[in-house]
Amino acid sequence: MREPLTPTPTIDSDHSAVVSFAEASTGQATNPRERAVSLYYAVRDGIRYDPYSITMTVPGLRASATLAASRGWCVPKAILLTACCRAVGIPARLGFADVKNHLSTERLRRVMGTDVFYWHGYTAIELDGKWVKATPAFNVELCEKFRIKPLEFDGTEDSIYHPFDLEGRQHMEYLRFHDEYNDLPLDELIGSYAKHYSGALYEEPSGDFDRDVDQETGNGPR
């Protein structure tokens, strides 16, 4: 029963930096729901979304490593939120889904070889006796550039991607939900990514996502 609260090799909720970040982000809040909401926004907006920072190693996916880098893709951001919740005594797990992203950049689609994000990561948090989904991947600045509504989280309802953007265009389409896990199922991720993605996805460095977004949305020089 304590597994959703226990540190793991990637969900290093006992790391001093993770503990300090979690405590600072929750402030004076004592209610678990309020603390979880505060942690969600701290990870969503404090860690920039970067799908070019992919690494498939335990050290590279640790919550403390993502915190130090201040950027990460959906899986490490979900790992960090999970670790932060556990650090303050809130049970949390990792959840995964396959989603079709209609608004990724042209370069990212070319590097990935598809517009489907396999094993997209989110955090499942136990609050008031039920598990709710929280998706902290896209920081608010990225949402503003893409004209998509930022995902909010109130601790009572699932926070998963909107099907349409602010212009009425298709945004995210959930194709399949996988299970929720007490630890990162790294072998499953590696197998799925090897099957579906181009090897270029793992090149270092593979790109500057912020620059690509600025060019795609007209917010920067072309």
DSSP 176-210: EEEEEESS--HHHHHHHHHHHS-GGGG-SS---HH
Q: Which residues touch 91 (CB under 8 Å, ≥6 apart)?
A: 4, 5, 85, 125, 126
Q: Residue 111: in which H helix or E strand, if any? A: helix 106-112
Q: Is 2 helix (H, G, I), strand (E, B) or coil?
A: coil
CA dihedral 206, 209, 212, 218 (to 10 degrees): 180
Q: Report which of residues 221 and 107 the model is more confident about.
A: 107
- 119 or 109: whose pLDDT is higher? 119
Kind of pairing, strands 172-181 and 92-101?
antiparallel
Judge whether residue 54 has pLDDT over 70: yes
Pick from 52-56, 103-107, 110-114, 117-121 the range whose average pLDDT is largest. 117-121
**SS3 label, residue 173:** strand
Examine the pLDDT at 158 and tell me if it is beyond 50.
yes
- Check residue 172 and give its pLDDT: 82
What pLDDT, on a 0 to 100 scale, did the predictor assign at position 200?
A: 60
pLDDT given for residue 222 in this prediction: 39
Cβ atoms of 52 and 208 within 8 Å: the answer is yes
Residue 97 CA to residue 161 CA, distance in Å, equals: 11
Q: Is the pLDDT of residue 7 over 80?
A: yes
Neighbour count for residue 129 (Cβ, 10 Å)? 5
Domain range annotation of the chain:
3-211
Res 150: pLDDT: 87
pTM: 0.90
> What would be the CATH architecture of the domain defined by 3-211?
Roll (3.10)
Question: Residue 90 carries which side chain, given as an amino acid letter?
Answer: I
**Banded model confidence at residue 209, pLDDT cuts 50, 70, 90:** confident
Torsion angle in degrees (nearest 10) through CA of 175, 91, 34, 12: -90
